[in-house]
């Protein structure tokens, strides 16, 4: 949905940050080409304007993209975001790479150091990795975690490893990944 805020007397459309007190009118244009006009001079209009601004801010702060929870028994989805990073279709800030694993910065860091370490093979989670990965791949993942900790300078201060698995684990990306968190006391 697109939300435009503008003055009725001109065709100029102001940015969302425009001062509400200066507005004569608000236009809300939905995806179905419907147009709604709200007079921001009356108190009802003001309330609607403020509500939509708050909603827009909420939508920006909590992107829903890619946040569906992954089933622990799901078969591997070759189009998941980490598979696309591995194929070079999406950018990533790479920390370490080997024949068997890749480590890159989490796009939404939850600690000063927040790196994701993933195997290059097609495994949805740690259970599928344990069942199907070769010994070399297992060692490769372990080694990549240790090397990442060294590169990020947290091998002495310490760090936390987390691998969310399935619905109850809160897994959102269906490619095995280990969160490496550190650089501060991790809550
Ligand atoms: P989880 O909830 O354990 O499945 O964690 C998935 C993590 O992947 C989240 O911390 C996201 O911030 C992170 N993430 C999602 N997309 C990307 C991306 N394109 N690059 C880096 N990290 C990402």
93-148: per-residue pLDDT in tens?
A: 999 999 999 999 999 999 999 999 999 999 999 999 999 999 999 999 999 999 99
27-61: per-residue pLDDT in tens?
A: 443 444 444 555 556 666 666 556 654 665 555 44
**Residues 6 or more apart from 77 whose CB is under 8 A from it?**
83, 124, 174, 175
Is 46 known to be catalytic?
Answer: no
- If pLDDT is split at 50, 70 and 90, which confidence band does 67 have? confident
Residue list, ligand 1 pocket, CB within 6 Å: 66, 81, 90, 92, 106-108, 116, 164, 170-173
Q: Which run of H or of E encompasses 144?
A: helix 135-151
**Residues 6 or more apart from 136 whose CB is under 8 A from it?**
100
d(CA 163, CA 72): 12
d(CA 104, CA 18): 38
- Is 60 exceeded by the pLDDT of residue 157? yes
Beta strands in the chain (DSSP E): 2-6, 13-14, 25-29, 35-38, 94-97, 101-105, 113-119, 159-162, 178-182
- If pLDDT is split at 50, 70 and 90, which confidence band does 163 have? very high
Of 12, 177, 179, 185, the active-site residue reads 177
Strands 159-162 and 178-182, how do they pair? Answer: antiparallel
Percent of the chain with pLDDT over 70: 65
Residue 104 alpha carbon, nearest atom of ligand 1: 21
User: What pLDDT was estimated at residue 42?
Assistant: 65
Strands 113-119 and 178-182, how do they pair? Answer: antiparallel
The three-class DSSP label of residue 113 is strand
- The mean predicted confidence, pLDDT, of the chain is 80
Give the CATH fold of the 81-182 domain.
HIT family, subunit A (3.30.428)
User: What pLDDT was estimated at residue 151?
Assistant: 98
Sequence spans of domains, the chain: 2-61, 81-182
Residue 76 neighbours by CB distance under 10 Å: 16
- Is 80 exceeded by the pLDDT of residue 153? yes
Choose among 68, 118, 127: nearest CA to 94: 118
Contact 29, 35 (CB under 8 A): yes
């Amino acid at each position: 949905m697109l939300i435009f805020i503008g003055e009725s007397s001109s065709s100029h459309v102001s940015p969302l940050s425009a001062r509400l007190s200066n507005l004569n009118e608000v236009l809300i244009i939905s995806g179905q080409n419907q147009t709604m006009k709200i007079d921001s001079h009356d108190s009802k209009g003001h309330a609607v304007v403020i509500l939509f601004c708050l909603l827009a801010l909420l939508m920006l702060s909590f992107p829903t993209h890619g946040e569906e929870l992954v089933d622990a028994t799901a078969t591997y989805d070759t189009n998941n975001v980490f598979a696309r990073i591995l194929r070079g279709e999406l950018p990533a800030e790479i920390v370490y790479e080997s024949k068997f694993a890749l480590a890159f910065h989490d796009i939404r860091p939850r600690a000063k150091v927040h790196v994701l370490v993933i195997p290059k093979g097609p495994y949805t989670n740690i259970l599928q990795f344990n069942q199907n990965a070769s010994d070399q791949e297992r060692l490769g993942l372990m080694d990549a975690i240790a090397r990442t900790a060294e590169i990020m300078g947290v091998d002495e201060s310490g760090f936390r490893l987390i691998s969310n698995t399935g619905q109850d684990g809160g897994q959102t990306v269906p490619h095995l990944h280990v969160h490496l968190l550190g650089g501060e006391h991790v809550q």
